[in-house]
Amino acid sequence: MRSAWRWLAVLAACLMPMAAARAELPTHTLTFTADGRFDPPRLEVEPGRFKIVLVNQSTQAVEFESLPLRAEKVLAPGVTSFVVLSLSRPGEYPFFDDFHPQAKGVLVVKPK
């Protein structure tokens, strides 16, 4: 047990500094509307590192999810949060709401 904790502590110590220091990023907003849609359903971004502010305007919980984007975020009703993504390959990255599977959208990384 002791070795497991030591291992965890070492890992945490190695990882933490990398989380620090982050410059101001290009920011886009994605809203989950009161009637259960993503707005905009098609979000276009420049390649690189950017931030998506997620706004849940509905009265239900939302789970923004996309394996191609490597993102997953649960939003309680009325909550605003964000994800930071880093995408260099142009293309279409679909995402959806895991709690309302009919709500879908796509993030488009424009060619350079």
Partner 1 sequence: MGEIAFIVWRESVEALLVVGILYAWLRTEPAGRRGLPWLWAGVGCGLLLAGALALALLGLATWLPGDGPEWFQAVMALAASALVVQMVVWMRRHGRGLKRELQTGAAQQVESGHWWGLLVLVMVAVAREGSETVVFLYGSVLSSQQHGGVGAAVLAGLGGFVAALATFWLLQLGGKVITWRRFFQLTEILLLLLAGGLLVGACDRLIALGALPTLMDPVWDTSAWLDTGAGLGKLLADFAGYRATPALSQLLIWLAYWVVVAWLLRRAGRTPAPRAVAGGHHVAG
Residue numbers at the binding site for partner 1 (CB under 8 A): 1, 4, 7-8, 11-12, 15-16, 18-19, 49, 58-63, 67-68, 70-71, 74-77, 79, 83-86, 88-89, 94, 96, 99-101
> How many angstroms separate the CA atoms of 24 and 89, rounded?
21
Whose tokens are 């945490």? That residue is 12
CB of 39 to partner 1, least distance (A): 18
> How many angstroms separate the CA atoms of 25 and 33, rounded?
24
> How many angstroms separate the CA atoms of 23 and 8, rounded?
28
CB of 80 to partner 1, least distance (A): 9
CB of 75 to partner 1, least distance (A): 8
